Structure 1
Amino acid sequence: LVAWLVRSHLVMSMTAQRKDIEDPSVIHEFARQVETPERLDYLYLLTVADMRATNPKRWNSWKGSLLGQLHRSTHLALTTDIDAQTRNARQIAQNKQQALQQLRQRYVESKITTHWASLSDNYFLQNSVDGIVWQTSLLLDHAGQTTPQLHIITNDSHGGSEILIIDRDRDNLFAITTGLLDQLGLNIMHARIETAGNGITISSFVVLEEDGSAVAGEIRESEIKQRLLQRLQAPAPLAVSSSDFRSRESRHFDVETRISFSQDESKQRTIMRIVTADRPGLLAKIGLAFSKCNIRLYSAKIATIGADVDNSFFITDSNSQPLSDEIQQRLLQECVLQQIEPQE
């Protein structure tokens, strides 16, 4: 056991921070590596202790929530005989049923199901029952509204604050939002984008303050809402400018930017991984490259390790097809590099 723990001590932290742990295939592969609930428990304890001891300032509630979620999902996979696809389908059905029971008390069922029909199955898998109820209520309460909706809540399960933006689908939305969040001094830990069939985009960002705490206080929340709404309500098309980026001390890190692509066959998406030095407005610049290349972003995993970032983006082309062509991948890679690499 000890020898296995030494060999595998980085596996859990890398899986939690760099992969989509809401994907059953990821959980299945991690469970295959761990093999037993006993090994899982020991590896979980070792990972938490190692991460907190190695760099206490980098530990935060978000990382703790990721490890906890990975532990729970993997334990379930190791202790049941149900295959990943069946377990996935049952979870979606259960989440829908429980959410519907709560929503029926306020809304006509046909309106609920009509709205849900425009959403993907992944939406019901990736969101909790409370999250589904909350977001559905907001959409039904403001049906027909043409201006953006913006809400901030403390999300205990995510270990941070969740900023929810409901708006019409349009160019540069991700780039503008991430740029402003950076300017406001917020660190984005996770991003998820769901574009419904009716042209509405539901964007969820889990953020932390620079000291690793959740957003707190009415004044701070009001500042964030006011700044975001002011920019999102500006005349289209939205554009990214240098004013969207936080002013920080310029530092040089000899880190070569590495971009790689892999395929998520189960969800028909391409995973683009970017390892580079952290810098102001990084996510906004990447988002702008996506817009220029007509790339659809579904979710993003953000991992900051020291002065470096290791980000994974789950993307498709404008027709919701994975980027399987090497020419497509190379063009996107060149566009991203043009945006994020400093001009000499």
Structure 2
Amino acid sequence: MALANTAFCSSSSAVRRSRVSGIGFIPQLSPCEPLAVLPVRFKCSEPALAFSRKKNILHASTDGLNAVDSTSLKFDRDADYVPMPIVLIDQDSDSDATIVQLSFGDRLGALIDTMKALKDLGLDVSKGTVATEGSVKQTKFFITRLDTGRKVEDPDMLERIRLTIINNLLKYHPESSAQLAMGEAFGIKAPEKKLDVDIATHVQVKEDGTKRSLLYIETADRPGLLVEIIKIIADINIDVESAEIDTEGLVAKDKFHVSYRGAALNTSLSQVLVNCLRYYLRRPETDIDSY
């Protein structure tokens, strides 16, 4: 499937890609064949660039294929369909910047207000890219701290970035409220589907070489979740080397590369980590009013 890309940059220099230490995030994108990348000057007064791709849709009924006008059926389906909102924070792909990726079908605009909200946190959006694959638009921001010019490493700030983007999504796309866990507290419509935290929570530790292990966590999303997970891991004296924090609607799917004293976790320590995370994640105590 062809992929159309658009890039926009500020006065900051372009960032390099290399492996880094610390809390990191690895974006998962489907393989595609990129087309030409076109630089665009981004101005607040200008409308966002939009991409679209036509689809051939075949409808069936008791009267035969396409018995009802396909255009009207497509319109009715699109009018009711709300895409899955996804927010992904990546600290691992770039040595100089924190990468934040946001997608919400093809409904995202220029996101000028989102960039302003990030700057209000003391951050600088040094570069950004917009990619459209099929009917899904994916926007990436390359973020650094204004005071140091370096990537964000504080878990509290990373969680503030995540919640700031989600709050802006709820504000400018209120239809996303029913798809997001935060919609119940901050949106106009609470999600109709309620996740059972006990059932939704899955924790696994897998081998990933001799020097680190891969920790996979899937649980019901809630404010402060990232900070909570990092604290639980730190309380067992386990180091987080890199990670991928992926918020998909009501669910958080996180991957962490972890180690203990420079080595992979043994079986006993892995079981301790899994038990602690399962216990605390199934008993949410985060105060949502603090975010």
TM-score past 0.5 threshold: no
The structure with the greater share of residues assigned to helix is 1
TM value normalised by structure 2: 0.43
Higher RCO, Cα 8 Å, sep 6+: 2
Q: Which has the higher strand share?
A: 2
Q: TM-score, normalised by structure 1?
A: 0.37
